[in-house]
Structure 1
Amino acid sequence: MSELVDYAQRELELIGADDEMQQEMNKDIMQIVKDFAGQEHSGFSAGYALNALERLLSFLPLTPLTGEPEEWNEVGNGTWQNKRCSRVFKDADGTAHDIEAVVVSYDDGKNWNYPKHWHQISFPYRPPVNPQEIKLPASEDPHRAEAEK
């Protein structure tokens, strides 16, 4: 076996397989690791493949969105959704937003929420794999004000 397969097996054993779902997940993950190891990537090609796989498996485009008309489906009331990245929307006035680009925490990172106001974008746009994390004081939490009413 390869070093990668051995490493993955040891790591998965550390998290355990207490239930049927985790056993199935470990089996599926090991199959992917074995397939990847069998491709014998170099350091460069492995990084390239991992980057592309992470984006594709997350339903994110490999190249920047263009904002061109053919990238959009109208989903109602002057709102358009991007065909290549379903988390990107455009309003009737042409303003585009990525509804998952930013997350906000009001409790020092214990909980994360998407903000009420979406992240405005311009094109070309390459959606990030991970959202930008913004920590704000609890006093700015809009839900806190509602709860105190």
Structure 2
Amino acid sequence: MSNLVEHARRELELLGEEPQTVQGYLNVVQAFADMGHSGGSASVAIPVIHDLLQFKNLRPLTNSPEEWVNVADALWQNKRNSEAFSDDGGKTYRLLSEGGTSRNRGPKHISEEAK
């Protein structure tokens, strides 16, 4: 067992997690440890994994029609970031986390040009 996995086991047990839950977390930590990251590469990989686990996009959203789905009359939702909504087919968008709703128009973002 790697130092990372052993650390995770101790910390999870201190939380009083159920054994099945602890094992599930340890499987994920072990998979990460098996990637063989050094301290430097781990510090790059961890934020990427964190964002992916939260369904965040890693690259900017684009105006590609393939990236947007019409969910209501003149309202599109992004397939890569479910909190991004557009009223112009993906050219611009608003994020729910920034107050971008039909009643409260949050900050507007401009999509990158599709390649």
The TM-score range, normalised by the shorter chain, is 0.7 to 0.9
Identify if the C-alpha distance between structure 1 residues 101 and 42 changes in structure 2 by more than 3 Å, giving closer, same or farther: farther
Q: Which residue of 1 aligns with 2:96?
A: 99
The one of 21, 32, 48 aligned to 1:25: 21
Deviation at 1:23, TM superposition (A): 3.1
Q: How many residues align?
A: 109
Cα deviation code 1:26-51 (max 9, x no counterpart) = 11100111111122201121122212
Structure 1's unaligned 5+ residue stretches are: 103-115, 126-149
Q: What does 1:114-133 correspond to in 2, within 5 Å?
A: 117=104, 119-124=106-111
Q: Which residue of 1 aligns with 2:2?
A: 2
Identity %: 38
Q: Tell me the TM-score normalised to structure 1 length.
A: 0.63
CA RMSD of aligned residues (A): 2.4
Q: Which residue of 2 aligns with 1:141?
A: none
Q: Tell me the TM-score normalised to structure 2 length.
A: 0.79
Cα deviation code 1:67-115 (max 9, x no counterpart) = 343321111111000121111001249652100246xxxxxxxxxxxxx
Identify if the C-alpha distance between structure 1 residues 26 and 121 changes in structure 2 by more than 3 Å, giving closer, same or farther: farther
Task: State how far apart, in whole Å, the 2-side matches of 1:119 and 1:91 are.
Answer: 13
